[in-house]
Amino acid sequence: MRVDALAQTIEALFDTPPATYREADAQVFQDFKQALNGGLVRAAEPDTTTATGWRVNAWVKKGILVGFRMGQIVDMSVNATRQPYFDKATYPVRQFTPQSGVRIVPGGSSIRDGCYIARGVTCMPPMYINVGAWVDEGTMVDSHALVGSCAQIGLRCHLSAAAQIGGVLEPVGALPVIIEDDVLVGGNCGVYEGTVVKQRAVLGSGVILNRSTPVYDLVNGKVLAATEDTPLVIPANAVVVSGSRQVTNGPGKEWGISVYTPVIVKYRDARTDAKVQLEDLLR
């Protein structure tokens, strides 16, 4: 089925759910999921005409939600006594072969069906990639890292241990989290609520990015923040670390309290590149 025809059918199934799903509806969903797995469709894609450089494909999110509506909870246990698993029949574990070119190191990782995992991706255990995600070539997903639903991860990224890339499935028009090419996400980072991290940025360990917390750019002397219409956007090549800012009034000032804030302390240079280049040895 052509992508435009698939989109129209998915829109109809989402807007007018049938009382009972037919075999033909199930086949449409399987075609849709194969398109997700193959990278033929994605929840968001680059678009130079937008403020963020990205646009949402809302119909793709609708297709994922149709799958949840359509699926019945079934027993997915490998060994029901030792480790029971129960989930929607429409979203089993994604299947790979050696020819897929994806390294999934033994130790308890899980990748849900309905996401694009490119050749050369390395998955260190245990980590989890949710439905609708896009993980491009050469990226490493390290231990205890999460790639949430519909998150878009670019080429040659490194999601360090315990990094959390939040999922944004609903509302369907909301931009998911975007991590562009060659980004290093440090250990224990959290990127949430549709934040866009532009190419070659570096997030130091423990950095949290979301719609609520402004980012202070010390290099350019300005404050970056999400608006009602646009998410937080971290500029290309920015090096972001965890910082704090003083409370300037009320009891917080009297008590000497500071609150967390991310800070851009520099933009990438040769020294930064040399440190990041070490990651290539692990791929």
Structural domain boundaries, residue 27: 3-72
What is the pLDDT, as a whole number, of residue 276? 65
Domain check: are 160 and 206 in the same one?
Answer: yes
**Any domain includes 82:** no
The reply to whether 133 and 40 lie within a common domain is no
Cα separation of 64 and 59, whole Å? 9
| Total domains in the fold of the chain | 2
Is the torsion defined by CA of 147, 278, 233, 56 positive or negative?
A: negative
Residue 97 lies in a domain: no
Residues 60 and 147 in one domain: no
Residue 124: CATH number of its domain: 2.160.10.10
60 domain-assigned: yes
Q: What is the pLDDT of residue 280?
A: 58
Across 62-85, average pLDDT = 94
Is 39 part of a structural domain of the chain?
Answer: yes
Within a domain: 266? yes
How far is the first Cα of the chain from the last one, in angstroms, to the nearest whole number? Answer: 36
Residue at token pair 């129960």: 86
Q: What is the pLDDT of residue 235?
A: 98
Region 197-213: what's the mean pLDDT?
97
Note the pLDDT tens digit of each residue in 242-264: 999 999 999 989 999 999 999 99
Structural domain contains residue 241: yes
Q: How confident is the model at residue 209 (pLDDT cuts 50, 70, 90)?
A: very high
This prediction's pTM: 0.94
pLDDT at 282 over 70: no
- Do 123 and 44 lie in one domain? The reply is no
Are 56 and 115 within one domain? no
* 252 and 131 in a common domain: yes
Pair 132, 271 in one domain: yes
pLDDT > 90: what percent of the chain? 92
pLDDT in tens, 212-239: 999 999 999 999 999 999 999 999 999 9
* Position 283 in a domain: no
Q: 125-172, pLDDT tens digit by residue?
A: 999 999 999 999 999 999 999 999 999 999 999 999 999 999 999 999
Domain holding 25: CATH number? 1.10.166.10
> Rounded distance, CA 172 to CA 150, Å?
10
Same domain, 125 and 249: yes
